[in-house]
A and B are shown apart, each in its own frame.
Chain A
Amino acid sequence: MHWPSFFFLLFGGFACLFAVAVVLASNIVRMAFYLVLSLAATSGLFFLAGADFVGAMQLMIYVGGTMVLLVFGVMLTSQSPFVSMRTSSGQMLTALVLGGTLLFVLSFTAFHVPAWQPTHRPAVDPNTPLLTATPIGMALEGYRVDQLDQPDPRIRQGMSGYLFPFIIISVHLLVVLVGAAYLARAKRRST
């Protein structure tokens, strides 16, 4: 048995199953619960693909942060407990047909690009542990440890890493924080 494949099937299956459950559920908190399971399974896929840091980040930010925020929002806005808004079956049918077509096209494409097919000589043996946090941290500080042997000197100059995007993201987060706090602030009714 090839263990990475087995775990891929396990996590991938869970991710897909609960993603479908999100679509089919009508109660918003149940949707959130299925979404959490789907996202957690996705982080399992990340761990499997050797991206430990991103997987842990996914668990921390998405599952621990964003989803809690979402459920918090649900609790603040629901009028009666367990409110569910139904979609008419005609709309649902149209969406499912369109979605099915999209899914077919996407999977068809995925299996017809030769570079994406399973390779029997991967770059790194799946049993080697990867070091994920250090290169990411250094790349965010503008130093690409994975591109040291880039032969083209012109490209090597452009390999200054992700310092600039990182700064932009930080400022963006700050702006969002202030903006969200301003928007959600309880307004005093002027009578």
Chain B
Amino acid sequence: MNFLLANLLSEPVGVAHYMVVGAVLFTCGIVCMATKRNALGVLMGVELVLNGANINLIAMGSPYLQGENATLGLDGQLMALFVIVLAAAEAAVLLAITLNFYNSAGSVDIDQADQLRG
């Protein structure tokens, strides 16, 4: 792996570096989704995952990072925009579900949401 911090300050970064940041965010989001018991914590995990994906899309579309014909171009930015907008919609729905769940169960602990268990 040619991942050296020393020459990172003097060399230009590439898509790969952005992707590592995206991967860290993605992984943190996955771990967050898996370990948090608070429903809103799970939602925050989802947001992190979506942001990790967004970083990749933006990096792939950035003309600063890639050569003349390799970039995803405007498509990357547009997809990222759609992701952001859909994430807002998803947050609103999940919040409504959480409020409803809280009204019926008196808690936001998702381990208690097992009333449908057979």
Query: Interface residues, chain A, CB within 8 Å of chain B?
Result: 1-2, 4-6, 8-9, 12, 15-16, 19-20, 22-23, 28, 31-32, 35, 38-39, 42, 45-46, 48-51, 53-54, 57-58, 61-62, 65-66, 69-70, 72-74, 76-79, 85, 87, 91-92, 95-96, 98-100, 102-103, 106-108, 110-111, 113, 115-124, 126, 130, 132, 135-136, 139-140, 144, 146-147, 162, 165, 169, 172-173, 176-177, 179-181, 183-184, 187
Contact = CB atoms under 8 A, between A and B. Distances in A.
Given A51-B58, A136-B74, A169-B85, A122 B27 contact: no
A91 B34 CA distance: 9
Interface string B62-80: 1111111111011011101
Contacts of A19: 24-25, 28-29, 48
Contacts of B91: 66, 69-70
A184 B100 contact: yes
A120 B68 CA distance: 11
B59 A118 contact: no
B116 interface: no
Contacts of B26: 102, 106
Contact of B67 (A31, A121, A132): A121
A122 B109 CA distance: 49
Interface string B83-109: 011111101110111111011001111
Interface of B: 1-3, 5, 8-21, 23-32, 34-38, 40-41, 43-45, 47-48, 51, 54-55, 58-59, 61-71, 73-74, 76-78, 80-82, 84-89, 91-93, 95-100, 102-103, 106-109
A39 B102 CA distance: 27
B86 A123 contact: no
A32 B30 contact: no
Contacts of A95: 31, 34-35
B40 to A, nearest CB: 6
Q: Which DSSP category, helix, strand, loop or mixed, fits chain B's interface?
A: helix
A33 B29 CA distance: 15
B34 to A, nearest CB: 5
A121 B19 CA distance: 19
13 contacts: A8-B17, A23-B31, A49-B59, A51-B80, A53-B77, A61-B85, A70-B95, A78-B108, A107-B3, A136-B74, A162-B78, A169-B85, A183-B93
Given A49-B18, A136-B78, A103 B24 contact: yes
B74 A113 contact: no
A143 B51 CA distance: 27
A69 B92 contact: yes
